[in-house]
Amino acid sequence: MKYLDDYRDPALARGLARAIAAEVRPDRTYRLMEFCGGHTHAIVNQGLAHLLPDAVRLIHGPGCPVCVLPVGRLDMALALVRDHPEVILCTYGDMMRVPASGGETLQKARAAGADVRMVYSTLDALALARAHPDRPVVFLAIGFETTTPPTALLLTQARDAGLPNLSVFCNHVLTPPAIGAILGGAGEAKPLDGIIGPAHVSTVIGSEAYRAGAARFGVPVVIAGFEPLDILRAVLMLIRQINDGRAEVETEYTRAVRPDGNPKARALMEEVFILRASFEWRGLGALPDSALAIRDDFAAWDAERRFAMPPLTGRENPACECGSVLMGALDPRDCRLFGRGCTPERPQGACMVSAEGACAAAWTQGPSP
């Protein structure tokens, strides 16, 4: 486990914890949001919050791809397989169990006879389309900038191969507008002192993508890797910036993130996608220029156009408080369904489905943090 153990050394972690404690000022608190669900998972699994002084509060953010997708978009996918039984709908595993309106899920639709399949990558979707040339295959695409380049590649592969039966239901969303909305007080968002920036997303979009937002809202961003020492070092870097009155973008995860990210991946995304004027996020509401649609050049492979899918608004489970959890406004344990009707085996909301969801992460810790 070389290269991983290097970032999990307990003695170094304790040293970083002491350095953080030494920097913390007694007259203030530090509210730091980890945007990414991968960080939430690492923080909870490694018990990192226990290493930090009480004045440092880590707040879970909305960076879990299945969590932020609003119910209406899932309802659209369910309507597609209901109205078009000839369709093979494929998507990543977590999407299968996310509740839509009325508690419906893709898993239940499959049990009722719809042809819904789990894939591990866009290559699986491509293989499905090739294996079933007589049937339409729709890839339900979700995720932030990490999973967007593979979807863009899939669309160019479909075009280059002249695959007429493959299409994509595009639900890709963008990180910087969401961070900006949170810092601007959208939804139930509370003021923050710093952002732990996402790792994988930043390998694609680069650290420069956050600079305008950090400057506009006067809040520092430190991009961190997923290992315990990465996260603790990012906390230390944030606290030093906050104490100095700086609001800069710094990269702790220098072994993978460059200022301009991955130019090839960005060019591919630019070739295939265009900004949506507005997109609804669970918890954040409708945000302008925060999601991607498929360009006209690829209209033949756009499921929304091919099947004339009408936009649906959806009905959230009124007892589920995912929206507040995603904004860091509610601790998952304070939801009245947490562990009482909502568990990873029987999720009532999206935040309990994926390992990256704040409710699922909290569940792994037990009833108290």
Interface residues with ligand SF4 (CB under 6 A)? 320-322, 325, 332, 335, 337-338, 342, 347-349, 351-352, 359
Minimum CB separation of residue 343 from ligand SF4 in Å reads 8
Alpha helix stretches (DSSP H) within 222-320 = 228-244, 263-272, 303-306
In angstroms, give the least distance from the CB of 187 to ligand SF4. 14
What does the chain come to in residues? 369
Task: Output 165 or 354, the one with its CB closest to ligand SF4.
Answer: 354
CB of 327 to ligand SF4, least distance (A): 11
Distance CA 326, CA 361 (A): 13
CA angle 20, 22, 27 (to 5 degrees): 100
Q: Which is nearer to ligand SF4, 122 or 324 (CB)?
A: 324
- Beta strand residue intervals within 74-199, DSSP E: 88-91, 115-118, 137-143, 166-172, 194-197
| Closest CB 354 distance from ligand SF4, rounded Å | 10
Q: How far apart are CA 294 and CA 287, in angstroms?
A: 18
Cβ pair 128, 163 in contact under 8 A: no
What's the CA gap between 107 and 344, in Å, rounded? 15
* DSSP tally for the chain: helices H, then strands E: 15, 13
Q: Which is nearer to ligand SF4, 94 or 250 (CB)?
A: 94
Least separation in angstroms between residue 294's CB and ligand SF4 is: 30
E-state strands within the chain:
30-36, 56-63, 88-91, 115-118, 137-143, 166-172, 194-197, 221-223, 249-251, 273-275, 278-281, 285-288, 292-294
CB of 320 to ligand SF4, least distance (A): 3
CB of 332 to ligand SF4, least distance (A): 5
Nearer to ligand SF4, 139 or 363 (CB): 363
Minimum CB distance to ligand SF4 smaller for 292 or for 335: 335
Q: CB of residue 33 vs ligand SF4: minimum separation in angstroms?
A: 18
- Report residue 127 as tokens: 């293989």
Closer to ligand SF4 by CB, 90 or 325: give it.
325
Determine which helix (DSSP H) or strand (DSSP E) holds 11, and give its type and residue range.
helix 10-23
Question: Residue 149 or residue 349: which is nearer to ligand SF4 going by CB?
Answer: 349
Cβ-based nearer residue to ligand SF4, 199 or 359: 359
In this structure, are residues 156 and 301 in contact, taking their beta carbons and an 8 Å threshold?
Answer: no
Residue with nearest beta carbon to ligand SF4: 349
